Amino acid sequence: MVINLAAHNGWKLHQMDVKSAFLNGDLKEDIFMTQPQGFEAKGEEYKVCKLVKALYGLKQAPRAWYAKMDEYLRKVGFQRSESDDTLYFRIQDKHMVILVLYVDDLIITGNNEAHIKQVKEELKAGFKMTNLGTLHYYLGVEVSQHPNQIFLSQTKYATKLLKKFGMEDCKPSLTPMEKKLKLSKFEGGELVNSTKYRQLVGSLIYLTSTQPDLSYSVSILSSFMQEPRESH
């Protein structure tokens, strides 16, 4: 359950966390809200507040935050990837720094530790951030970093998945699906709980991030999402 990534020239993955990320977003629309309970102005309880910054819960908040961060990253010399809006890179001489933004988490890597440290300081100057050091765990993926190698695995996620669906005591198999198995949409026993089935298939799809050998069997199972049966 491990992917071995060859880390070019000893690149390491670093992680930073933005404090109250959505509160940094600037609103371009006029948005009003009632005064917070317990903080109403005496004699002016009927008045409303005009928001200047985004708040958690606003549908505009994520977009406003990403726009704010995008503007700042471009200001300090980063370019946004044409294929992925959350991927940024900066090249100075022969040194490159790559940054990935996911809501309030940032993953940073590059071929020069001094430049990575400089980027961290620039980010701290623009936003309140916590430097979490080298990356160890991210969105259910465990990261183990060694000289010239980075290992990704989902051992904890897979174990949790087995327990959730009562399979922690199951026997291991050399293949993820029975050989020459043929499944039918209309045959294969009684109908089962479709919601639970979809949860299982969705969880397995995420597990293929580090277990690509599951991809074929999971794709077969995902074709029976509407009316799953016992055989599925």
Q: What is the rounded average pLDDT of the residues 163-183?
A: 87
Domains, the chain: 2-30+47-152 (3.30.70), 155-224 (no CATH)
| Contact indicator for 98, 108 with CB cutoff of 8 Å | yes
Q: What pLDDT does residue 4 have?
A: 54
pTM over 0.95: no
Q: Are strands 48-50 and 79-80 parallel, antiparallel or unpaired?
A: unpaired
- The answer to whether 204 touches 221, Cβ cutoff 8 Å, is yes
Average pLDDT over residues 111-127: 92
Nearest Cα residue to 204 out of 164, 172, 170:
164
Dihedral angle over CA of 216, 221, 226, 232, nearest 10: 160
For residue 38, report the phi and psi dihedrals to the nearest 5 degrees. Answer: 90, -5
What's the pLDDT tens digit per position in 134-160? 999 888 889 988 877 888 899 999 999
d(CA 206, CA 156): 13
pLDDT, tens digit, 9 for 90 and up, residues 213-222? 999 999 999 9
Q: What is the pLDDT of residues 87-98, one digit of tens each?
A: 999 998 888 999
Q: Give the confidence band of 8 by pLDDT, cuts at 50, 70, 90.
A: low
Q: What are the tens digits of pLDDT across the range 178-211?
A: 888 888 888 888 888 999 999 999 999 999 988 8
